[in-house]
Amino acid sequence: MTTATTRTTGPSGATVRTPLRTEWLAIRGRVHAPVVHTGRRPGAVAPAGGPTLVAGVAGALTDALSTADLVVASELRRGRAVIPSHASPLVAGALRRAGLPVHHGPVVTTDRIVDDPAGRAALA
């Protein structure tokens, strides 16, 4: 099930997407952009045009991340595929100047939750 606000994009043209319903419930009405619950299926959070932000609990592979920290992907990794994000240093810098806790680095995506320590260490 997909749930969205009445607008298709926010003031900046951005859409916030949440894989889990609990994530959608936690942030809806708290941001100045539409929030869409996409589900966890592969490709669910693919952008439909304009900037796309993914908000969620994620699965941090390091203890360096804290609740409410932001992660700006320098690249997306899925298997052997790597997609760089050339604008990410500018986004991370702008967020830091706004006083937000930002981490800038690669983000890994998988088809399943990786909860075993060896699997998480391999991805990290």
**60-83 pLDDT, tens per residue?**
888 888 877 888 999 989 889 999
State how far the Cα of 60 lies from the Cα of 124, in Å rounded to an integer. 9
Give CA separation, 91 vs 70, 78, 85, 97, in Å: 11, 22, 10, 10
* Structure token digits, residue 1: 């099930």
Q: What is the pTM of this model?
A: 0.69
State how far the Cα of 109 lies from the Cα of 113, in Å rounded to an integer. 9
Give residue-wise pLDDT tens across range 12-69: 678 888 888 888 888 888 888 888 888 776 665 555 567 778 877 767 888 888 877 8
